[in-house]
Structure 1
């Protein structure tokens, strides 16, 4: 059986072009090389993969002239698939080569994170990079969303794995990564918003042209994408809603108010309340499922002794309000819906 890294790399090198077609699909063949942007399958021309052995080196070896990075096809599988442990890389390489997997050496060794599990979510979040200066930040700014620099729930992945569930095809795309956490700040899942790598006519970054540009994984029910959560501090007042952009828009004009996005109406209905919470603002959603989620959450809040108040946008949602009316008009509109004490505390003067 094939188990060592060197043997797997050699076998992959013998099938170098097939490996590139599978994992570096945004590239193309040019002579004896496969040309692509980088090892994460970005479009471009700076990375060269040798397809056949020659006097200069072995098939499967690659170099990125822009960054100076180099490696073999195991590195390609690791980076393009978003893997972190060699065991996972080797398993994927064997799957591609249709080689039987070796028997485990240590039966007590923990298995790799199951696909879609909280562990998989935590691994992907750890592999992502801070938001500043990335396409994900530009996507948010293009929607009028400006968040405090200390925000830690949002990150960026330049080449996140995406599988078309109908066609069965896979590709890697840039993605905004949002951590779903419990009230202790522990990551239980995440949401990926796949982004276009090209600017729209207005110069902003939009969502990728996909049927479902958002995917979630992990344990979501009861938890949310928290912005402004400090597990060591009480949360007497908070806001909750379905969508990330909706809640990030509220956070933009009320940066001291903790908010959470539950990702769906059903998850909103089952949101876990922080201890000592006494007021809950719920961002309204116009569709039927959204109304049901709000009604159920309001009922649960009342049963827990929490005052639930709906916040309603002027347009379709609060991100529409932020983009088309501006932060000052949105703040003025919200001031009429907040408890006076909260308006003074969370809205800027004037």
Structure 2
């Protein structure tokens, strides 16, 4: 399905992400996201399939092999104005579904060490739950590789790449998010990796980006990063 989808640029998928506040710069060089104009949706296994446009995310292991996909069905009429509940997603019971081997893997964004798939640049990695959450962080920290595990359970089980020395965990502000952070932090420490939690001011970092703006998101992240990373990766406005 991912192979049959089209590049993101110029599609409704790109429009959806822009309306969620994701900047064009944050989407530059993103190969893990594509768009399908007619991706079938079934409300139940026996229901008649309905074609809807969809954002398609590739889930990969540390070797870069695709192990699954996530589909986010979109509403072509849901952007003007942006529905505050659906946020551009299709009016379906479950507008987001994933399939394949997901546990431990992620949708990955950003540079890796040349020739070493999954190897973190400078030993750094940012990990979070949702694609929109992680891409919101990429609006500020575009030079650091990122991984969206797609759910709290999967974030806690994320496989850590070789060479990782510092892991930033983007927390969703709910009990499931707290459990995910605790679980992944424990695993990182056991592996000798420094773990730092990044906390949003609202429910998640996409909420922060949309409701507070990019400047406030940048300021909130700057004070939570390790000082040397704040200096290196967060531009001063």
Instruction: Give the corresponding residue for 2:181.
Output: 294
Q: Deviations over 1:96-147 (max 9, x none)?
A: xxxxxxxxxxxxxxxxxxxxxxxxxxxx011000000000000000011022
Task: Tell me the TM-score normalized by structure 1.
Answer: 0.62
Task: Tell me the TM-score normalized by structure 2.
Answer: 0.91
Q: Work out which of the two has the higher radius of gyration on C-alpha atoms and give 1 or 2.
A: 1
Alignment equivalent of 1:173, drawn from 31, 45, 52: 52
The yes-or-no answer on 1:226 pairing with 2:113 is no
* In structure 2, distance between residues paired with 1:125 and 1:229: 20
Instruction: Give the corresponding residue for 2:217.
Output: 330
1:1-350 equivalences under 5 Å are 124-146=1-23, 147-165=26-44, 168-202=47-81, 206-230=88-112, 232-233=115-116, 234-235=119-120, 236-350=123-237
Q: Deviations over 1:232-259 (max 9, x none)?
A: 3541111111111100100111111111
Per the alignment, do residues 289 and 199 of structure 1 end up closer, same or farther by CA in structure 2, a change over 3 Å counting?
Answer: closer
* In structure 2, distance between residues paired with 1:299 and 1:342: 22
Over the residues paired in the alignment, what is the CA RMSD in angstroms? 1.6
* In structure 2, distance between residues paired with 1:166 and 1:129: 26
**Is the Cα–Cα contact under 8 Å of residues 178 and 225 in structure 1 kept in the other structure?**
yes
* In structure 2, distance between residues paired with 1:296 and 1:334: 22
Shift of 1:169: 2.7
Q: Deviations over 1:4-48 (max 9, x none)?
A: xxxxxxxxxxxxxxxxxxxxxxxxxxxxxxxxxxxxxxxxxxxxx
**Is the Cα–Cα contact under 8 Å of residues 104 and 159 in structure 2 kept in the other structure?**
yes
Shift of 1:161: 1.2
Give the aligned length: 227
**Is the Cα–Cα contact under 8 Å of residues 185 and 229 in structure 1 kept in the other structure?**
no
- What stretches of structure 2 of length at least 5 have no aligned partner? none
- What stretches of structure 1 of length at least 5 have no aligned partner? 1-123
> Highest relative contact order (Cα 8 Å, sep 6+), 1 or 2?
2
**Is the Cα–Cα contact under 8 Å of residues 2 and 56 in structure 2 kept in the other structure?**
yes
Shift of 1:287: 2.1
